Amino acid sequence: MPLGLGLWSARQSMRALVLNQSISSAAQRLVLRPDYPTPEPARGESLVRVRVAGICGTDLEMLRGYMGFSGVPGHEFVGEVVSAQNPDLAGRRVVGEINAACGQCAWCNAGMGRHCPNRTVLGILGRDGAFAEYLCLPDRNLIPISSRIPDEVAVFTEPLAAALEIFEQTRVADSDRVAILGDGRLGAMVAIAFRSRGIDPVIGGHHQDKLSRLRELGLTAYPESALAPAYDMVVDCTGSASGLARAIELTRPRGKLVLKTTAADSAGINLAAVVINEIEVIGSRCGRLAPALEALERGLVNPAPLICGVFGLEDGAAAFARAADPSVFKILLKAN
């Protein structure tokens, strides 16, 4: 029998921001539902009460049609387990790995559950997400948080893990010249992750106000047009075809190009320079949460200054509009 605050039933309802891709107008696709069914945990899952969630670039792209997802979006969250089959999780404050793998296929058996072809992805693919009062995830996806990490910092665990994934995928030397294209929330997080590893990257962007704020955080940031080849590594956080083309241009021969963004629009681009300059291209997505939590707990990373506003679920439309403002870094939603 699940432990916690009792048994939950799908007949109960909760407040949730619901995305409906069948609506043609992007401005009307996301609505607050006060009577959305509370999710029921499957075997091996816990019910989590969402304390705070973050709006990221992927959420904004989904509003434009990325992944064709309908349901509750949101995957960056801090929550409290209210119903658990694992007694070690009951009542704990947690963050969660967003990919819920099947645990049985060849990819899962090889330790690559994040690429499981049968997986669901929190708020992105086949599983309602964090822009609601409650969500469900497998127990193996949930990681308890130290009391030393406040909610407003812990909510950055998933995006920080994605940024640190670069160091899991490839070697970055202390002497490498690194450029990050994109001065938004993702570019800022990647830059902060590099700084935590003792590497000072250059951020190139188009928004003077953001570049100024990044410099106030101790980061090196310039207008993108001021950057000149050739960098040992370029991390593209722009999510645009023009940004990718510029990233290729800035990467030295036999350098590394890391693609870090997902977008609704496809990119038509000439890849001849990648072949001619023998550039190593690395696609980079989610990362392990444990290294990110350790960095946050040790104070190696403090992303809290990136927060530009906190909204309630009832103000979800306004929160998304604010998050889409080019001058804004991170917007948070408080569900309870």
Report the pLDDT averaged over residues 191-215: 94
Structure tokens at 299: 């104070």
Residues in Cβ contact with 149 at an 8 Å cutoff, skipping those fewer than 6 apart: 293, 296, 297
Residues 222 and 116 placed together within one structural domain of the fold: no
Domain co-membership, 223 together with 326: no
Same domain, 132 and 232: no
User: Helix or strand or coil: residue 203?
Assistant: strand
Domain containing residue 176: 162-283
Domain match, 187 and 140 both: no
CA distances from 72 to 16, 40, 57, 201 (A): 7, 15, 16, 35
Would 289 be classed as within a structural domain? Answer: no
* Residue 293 in domain: no
What is the rounded distance in angstroms from the CA atom of residue 102 to the CA atom of residue 96? 16
142 and 252 housed in the same domain: no
In a domain, 288, yes or no: no
Q: What are the CA-CA distances from residue 39 to residues 32, 34, 81, 90, 263 (Å)? A: 16, 14, 13, 17, 28
Which residue do the tokens 């645990």 mark? 103
Q: Domain for residue 38, yes or no?
A: yes
CA atoms of 319 and 328, how far apart (whole Å): 11
pLDDT digits (tens, 9 = 90+) for 243-302: 889 999 999 999 999 998 765 455 677 889 999 999 999 999 888 999 999 999 999 999
What tokens appear for 15 in the block? 């407040």
Res. 152 pLDDT band, cuts 50 70 90: very high
Closest to 251 measured CA to CA, from 281, 219, 206: 281
Q: Angle at CA 190, nearest 5°, toward 246 and 188?
A: 85
What's the number of domains the chain is made of? Answer: 2
pLDDT higher than 80, residue 111? yes
Do 263 and 325 fall within a single domain?
no
Q: What is the CATH number of the domain that holds 229?
A: 3.40.50.720
Q: Are residues 69 and 115 in the same domain?
A: yes
CATH at 19: 3.90.180.10
- Note the pLDDT of residue 269: 77
Report if residue 297 sits inside a domain. no
Number of H helices, E strands in the chain: 10, 19
